[in-house]
Amino acid sequence: MKISIINGPNLNLLGQREPGIYGAQSFLDYFDTLKNRFPAVEFDYFQSNVEGEIIDALHNVGFSSDGIILNAAAYTHTSVGIGDAIKAIDTSVIEVHISNTFAREDFRHTSYITPHVKGIIVGFGLDVYRLAVESFLLK
């Protein structure tokens, strides 16, 4: 099983960025734990702060991966283009958010991603990525 993780803007700063909201662990550190936990899964990981690069990444893996875990970060709340890219590809996408976006500012309650994904997992810290992997493995 091949699972692709795509992270959007500012998630390269996990561990340093607002640790009270997003925790103190870097994503690459967490990613090592995730890979060790699921040795049978072939993971790839992409992060960008640029909207078009996230769309390109969805196109690149969206016809070959078995599942995509997407945290589009702030673009979740603004990007018609990322929503359209999810519609355009074959692979199922699970939308994840580290924080509980529904318990935060109103603008974070809107997602241009959610209508096009298989499901969403929000608010469990970095564990949202593990839960998304488990969900793909259930299939």
109: annotated active-site residue: no
Exposed e or buried b for every residue in 51-74, given b needs 16+ CB within 10 A? Answer: beebbebbeebbeebbbbbbbbbe
Q: Is 97 a catalytic residue?
A: yes
Three-class SS state of 115? helix
Q: Among residues 41 and 74, whose Cβ is nearest to ligand DQA?
A: 74
If the CB atoms of residues 49 and 92 are measured against ligand DQA, the closer one turns out to be 49
Q: Which residues bind ligand DQA (CB under 6 A)?
A: 10, 71, 73-74, 76, 97-99, 101, 108
Catalytic residue, candidates 30, 75, 97, 129: 97
- Residue 34 CB, nearest distance to ligand DQA (Å)? 15
Instruction: Find out whether 87 and 55 touch, Cβ atoms under 8 Å.
Output: no
Distance of closest approach, residue 99 Cβ to ligand DQA, in angstroms = 3
- The nearest distance, CB 11 to ligand DQA, in angstroms, is 6
How many whole angstroms separate alpha carbon 56 and alpha carbon 110?
Answer: 23
- Kindly tell me which of 1 and 108 has the beta carbon lying closer to ligand DQA: 108
User: What burial class does residue 108 get, using C-beta atoms within 10 Å of its C-beta: 0-12 exposed, 13-18 middle, 19+ buried?
Assistant: middle
Q: Catalytic residues, which ones?
A: 22, 97
